[in-house]
Amino acid sequence: GAVVSQHPSWVICKSGTSVKIECRSLDFQATTMFWYRQFPKQSLMLMATSNEGSKATYEQGVEKDKFLINHASLTLSTLTVTSAHPEDSSFYICSARDRLGGGQTYEQYFGPGTRLTVT
Amino acid sequence: QKEVEQDPGPLSVPEGAIVSLNCTYSNSAFQYFMWYRQYSRKGPELLMYTYSSGNKEDGRFTAQVDKSSKYISLFIRDSQPSDSATYLCAPRGNTDKLIFGTGTRLQVFP
């Protein structure tokens, strides 16, 4: 099956620093990738939709200058949390839509997530 | 009102029990109804999905959608300890955007 990886799986950083999280589709090409954030005991909240070669589309309330998304190739999207603060501590999960999915029936394949702790 | 409401649980059942997991939603434009399973500290994995109203069965799992009452259900028969996880409903319309419920934590004890 389709596999999505994320790196790192967990990261601790100091307040004010920037952190980059990578999301890779390992065995398929993904024209569209999604970034979610999940706080403890809460649902996944979509942060942004990333299309290869174009600017990401951010959900309302998500600061695009703080959460920089780059989808430079069909297999890699990165999320950079700039000037991180303790309130940014969360579980960040990416997903990728299979390029061959087509039509209305498709699957988003999720990565294992990255746990970010900002001290 | 949240677009998708789901009882967070936890729901604790003995092995072999029939489990019923439910969601309600408010957006009548939703057409696809996904169920994801998420183990602790892992990303969600798709269990099954249904389109519009009706039932869909896959092994021990049955998904049911009643669009008239905006009610989504997932039934698990002969539950196993390995089914212990958080179950997330996630409907969507004709766009890519999934709207996740908070998830119901299920514990199946031997």
Q: What is the pLDDT of residues A28-56, one digit of tens each?
A: 888 889 999 998 878 899 999 998 888 89
- Looking at chain A, which residue has its C-alpha nearest residue B97? A46
- Looking at chain B, which residue has its C-alpha nearest residue A95? B43
At residue A53, the pLDDT reads: 82
Average pLDDT over residues B14-21: 97
Q: Which residues contact A84 (CB under 8 A, 6 or more apart)?
A: A13, A15, A16, A17, A18, A19, A116, A118
CB contact (8 A) between residue B43 and residue A111: yes
User: What is the amino acid identity at position B70?
Assistant: K
Please, which residues bridge with residue B36 across strands? B46, B88
Average pLDDT over residues B18-30: 95
Q: In angstroms, rounded to a whole number, what is the distance separating the alpha carbons of residues A41 and A62? A: 20
Residue A110: is its pLDDT beyond 60?
A: yes
CB contact (8 A) between residue B46 and residue A93: no
Closest in B44, B49, B102 to A42, CB measured: B102
Rounded to the nearest 5 degrees, what angle is found at the Cα of B67, between the Cα atoms of B66 and B69?
75
Q: What is the pLDDT of residues A11-28, one digit of tens each?
A: 999 999 999 999 999 988
Q: What is the pLDDT of residues B71-82, one digit of tens each?
A: 999 999 999 999
Average pLDDT over residues B18-40: 93
- Looking at chain B, which residue has its C-alpha nearest residue A93? B43
Q: What is the pLDDT of residues A40-99, one digit of tens each?
A: 878 899 999 998 888 899 999 999 999 999 988 889 999 999 999 999 999 999 999 875
Q: In angstroms, rounded to a whole number, what is the distance separating the alpha carbons of residues A25 and A107? A: 13
**DSSP letter (8 states) at residue A75:** T
**Burial tier of A20 (Cβ tally within 10 Å: 0-12, 13-18, 19+):** middle
Q: Which residues of A touch B45 (CB under 8 A)?
A: 110
